[in-house]
Amino acid sequence: MKKSYIYAFLLIAIVVVAVSYTVNPPIEQAPVENKQQLTANNGASPNGETNNSNEMLNVNSNYEACGKGTLQSPINIEVNETIDEEQAKKLAEQVSLNYDQAIFAVENIGHTIEANSTTLDNSLLMNDKEFKLTGIHFHSPSEHQLNGQYFDMEAQLFHESEEGELAIIGLFIESGKENAVLAEMWDEIPTDGDAAAKLLKNPVDLQQLLPENKEVYQYVGSLTAPPCTEGVNWLILEEPIEMSNEQINRFSSIFLQNNRPIQQLNDRDVYKFNLN
């Protein structure tokens, strides 16, 4: 009698196991093409965050200059600490502007408004090397300081040589009358970073964009955004240009603050001279 109970129990157990296997078959593992796939997530938590701080630091190793560079921009320019006049005069003889008009395509690139020149006819000559104007970036408030003071905005005119060297002219912008030279550009500023670039109908007169007084401060610095490339020739015009409050507010409504903090001067020389 006991054996009958035992046989019945074993039969029921076998049936239950068979049914369970049929309803929930074993999960097939996806094929692994190479062993590296098995270790690709080593050191990472289930949410994708790495547990290896060194690996995190290496993610942007190309941007090392941003944190460790010694020739970084922007800087505070102390007017009374610029290099003596004789050396500045020699430098002034080696720098000249060749500006006329250019049509720009305006684009929101996520961290600033970029106006790209559709022509390479405008240039900056330094030490007999030509730097072609490629575009203009804008920042609010200004990135550079003059005697410890910020301006409402700063326009940066980018130039590049055939060898890829960079020279940037910085324009301080302060509140005042409407800037007619940039009026159309400002009307076309894209508020959406995903929007396509807008080609302006009318050319911008670059000579009219610059202030009447063309005294500049020159120093060697860097890009103010990653990769923070050093060796950039900066020319910062002392006299600001003007934009209306409405124009300034239009930009700051898109980018409330997109300037990089002031960087250490690190004993760099700053020259002051008149830009021809």
Check pLDDT > 70 for residue 25: no
Maximum distance among all Cα pairs of the chain, rounded to whole angstroms: 120
Look up tokens 């076309």; give the residue: 188
Q: Which two three-digit tokens encode residue 33?
A: 């093409």
Q: Which 3 state secondary structure label does DSSP give 184?
A: helix
Of 75, 57, 82, which Cα lies nearest the Cα of 67?
57
The pLDDT, as a whole number, for residue 60 is 63
- Which of 36-45, 165-174, 196-205, 211-220 is predicted with the least confidence, judged by mean pLDDT? 36-45
Rounded to 10 degrees, the C-alpha dihedral 43/49/54/57 comes to 150
Average pLDDT over residues 51-76: 71
Q: Is the pLDDT of residue 126 over 90?
A: yes
Q: Which of 222, 225, 224 is nearest to 233 (CA)?
A: 222
Q: What is the pTM of this model?
A: 0.78
Q: Write out pLDDT tens, residues 37-53.
A: 222 233 333 333 333 32
Look at residue 108 and give its three-state secondary structure: strand
What pLDDT sits at residue 270? 96
Which has the minimum average pLDDT: 28-32, 141-145, 148-152, 271-275?
28-32
Tallying the residues shown for the chain, one arrives at 276
Pure H helices in the chain? 2-23, 53-58, 64-68, 85-92, 183-187, 206-209, 245-252
- Mean pLDDT in residue range 237-265: 97
Q: Cα 254 from chain centroid?
A: 15
* Residue 74's pLDDT band (cuts 50, 70, 90): very high
Which of 111, 137, 139, 159 is the catalytic position?
Answer: 111
Query: In angstroms, rounded to a whole number, what is the distance separating the alpha carbons of residues 235 and 97?
Result: 12
Instruction: Identify the burial level of 46 via C-beta atoms within 10 angstroms of its C-beta, where 0-12 means exposed, 13-18 middle and 19 or more buried.
Output: exposed
Q: Taking residues 156-174, report their average pLDDT.
A: 98
pLDDT of residue 116: 98
Alpha-carbon gap, residue 275 to 212, rounded angstroms: 11
User: For this structure, is 111 an active site residue?
Assistant: yes
Q: How many CA atoms lie within 13 A of 245 on its CB side?
A: 0
> Model confidence at 35, in pLDDT bands (50, 70, 90)?
very low
